[in-house]
């Protein structure tokens, strides 16, 4: 899976926005409940239920009236 900063990934039923990329280790980060980076490896795709770009997410939110 290729992700960019700003993309959204669905983990355990919750959408989380990608806030940082570490291309040297093929990792990306979302924020945990304390606002700290929670790092994920791209080699573990079975953890992720879905992935959309930020523009796709904004269109979905607009369509939902949010």
pLDDT tens sequence across 25-39: 888 999 988 999 999
H-assigned helices in the chain = 54-63
Distance from C-alpha of 61 to C-alpha of 65, rounded to nearest angstrom: 6
Distance from C-alpha of 25 to C-alpha of 38, rounded to nearest angstrom: 14
Q: Is the pTM of this model over 0.85?
A: no
Q: Are 25 and 10 in contact (CB under 8 A)?
A: no
Residue 63 is given by DSSP the state H
Give the bridge partners for 50, in sequence order: 10
Fold held by 8-63:
SH3 type barrels. (2.30.30)
Residue 34: what pLDDT? 93
* pLDDT < 70: residue spans in the chain: 1, 42-47
Distance from C-alpha of 16 to C-alpha of 37, rounded to nearest angstrom: 11
């Amino acid at each position: 899976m290729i992700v960019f900063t700003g993309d959204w990934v669905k983990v355990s039923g919750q959408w989380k926005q990608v806030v940082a990329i570490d291309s040297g280790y093929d990792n990306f980060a979302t924020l945990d409940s304390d606002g700290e980076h929670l790092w994920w490896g791209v080699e573990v795709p079975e953890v992720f239920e879905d992935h959309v770009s930020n523009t796709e997410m904004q269109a979905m939110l607009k369509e939902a009236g949010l």
